[in-house]
Amino acid sequence: MSKRFQTVGSLLRPAELLSYKNEIERRGDITYPFYDDFEGYRQCEFEATKSVVAKQIQHGLEILTDGEFSKALWHLDFVWGLDGISRYIAEHGYFFRDKDETAKYETRRDIGLRITGELSGKSHHFIKVFQRLSAIVGGRPVKLCVPSPSHIFGELSWSDNIGGKGSVYATARELKDGLARAYKEFVTEYAGAGGKILQFDDCLWEIFADDNPNSPYTGENINQEAVEALADEFIGLNNELIDFGRRLKLKMWTHNCRGNYSSRNMGGGSYIKIAESFLKRLKYDRFFLEWDDERAGSLDALKVFADKPEAEIVLGLLSSKTNALDDEGRVITLLDAASGIIGKERLFLSHQCGFASCDGGNELTEAEQWAKIDQGQRIAAQYWGE
């Protein structure tokens, strides 16, 4: 097995765990953590986590996760776990592009976020999740995946949580500062609990790519100065937390994609359009990037990493959205091209995203998931010879 093959983090949930998760999704009368309302849930999640850790080890994965079995959605569980946040069933879910790439596909609707008090990241449930995982893995390296602060700042600031009557935060600046404090509280406790790797997941970079037809910032009559200022805010907020984590001796990683829900995506946009901003200026130690289809554009975007010799790049050349094995010839061709730009020794291989960013997961079976992971291992062993 090769250390050069990595997974983004999430894996398909087993049926017995999903039976609980489906109940949680429909309930609007519970608060986070939801699990206390469901007899038997915690034990089910614990047993499922032990099983998926054993399978990751069996399939040769070096960096382990809990499969994100402790989450319902890749980002909102972290937000629900902050003090000062409540959840509600919204009028509609997120809208993804359906498989025909034109029709809209609506997600689950338990995505509403309401700020009810000053945000705090102290005593977050994810610390217990990390401690449980650490106890299960027997000393092997693990990572914890949480949404990037800029992603959550974006979602909260685009809602009705700022400036209205009774609002906790009167301005976006106040919200950003409060969110940064909450993240620092969480990161401090994570490092104190023995955490070594923290991965910030993010789906918003590509809204700043002017070749993304699905972005609210693409088209005529757009104030580009305001858009660039917002991108600067996103980058600055993330870098503030990256620097903070590094001072606590954490490895700070990121994963970027264009949406992953039930084998659907949210939009386009090439990396070349955001290379000088997000790829070059963000200070992460390792970048998991999505390159499974033509939406990502040219690998020339990797050239910005030439001036960042400490950064490692995980190329998401494989697809977690499909149930068929990937074209290995295509993967090798792209690895060769990438190696000619920044050097083979700084590259890793992965799928473009996890297999279950949300509970329902992508449209493939667990057996097909593990077969795709095994294929990634074979390609990496062949290519790097380690």
pLDDT at 27: 87
Q: What angle do CA 241, 93, 227 make, to 5 degrees?
A: 45
Contact 10, 17 (CB under 8 A): no
DSSP letter at 106 equals E
- Tokens encoding 243: 């620097």
Which residues have a Cβ under 8 Å from the Cβ of 206 and sit 6 or more positions away?
Answer: 212, 215, 256, 258, 267, 268, 269, 274
Q: For the segment 129-164, what is each residue's pLDDT rounded down to a tens digit?
A: 999 999 999 999 999 999 999 999 999 988 888 987
Q: Where along the chain do its domains lie?
A: 15-384
According to DSSP, the residues that pair with 288 across neighbouring strands are 255, 314
Q: For the segment 242-291, what is each residue's pLDDT rounded down to a tens digit?
A: 999 999 999 999 999 999 989 998 888 999 999 999 999 999 999 999 99
Q: For the segment 52-86, what is each residue's pLDDT rounded down to a tens digit?
A: 999 999 999 999 999 999 999 999 999 999 999 99
Whole-number Cα distances in Å, 212 to 12, 266, 333, 361: 29, 10, 25, 25
For 67, how many CA atoms within 13 A lie in the half-sphere containing its CB?
A: 26
Four-way CATH pick for 15-384: 3.20.20.210, 3.40.630.30, 3.90.950.10, 3.40.605.10: 3.20.20.210
Average pLDDT over every residue of 371-382: 98
According to DSSP, the residues that pair with 97 across neighbouring strands are 104, 265
Q: For the segment 18-42, what is each residue's pLDDT rounded down to a tens digit?
A: 999 998 888 888 777 877 788 999 9
Q: Percent helix, strand, coil in the chain (nearest 5)?
A: 45, 15, 40
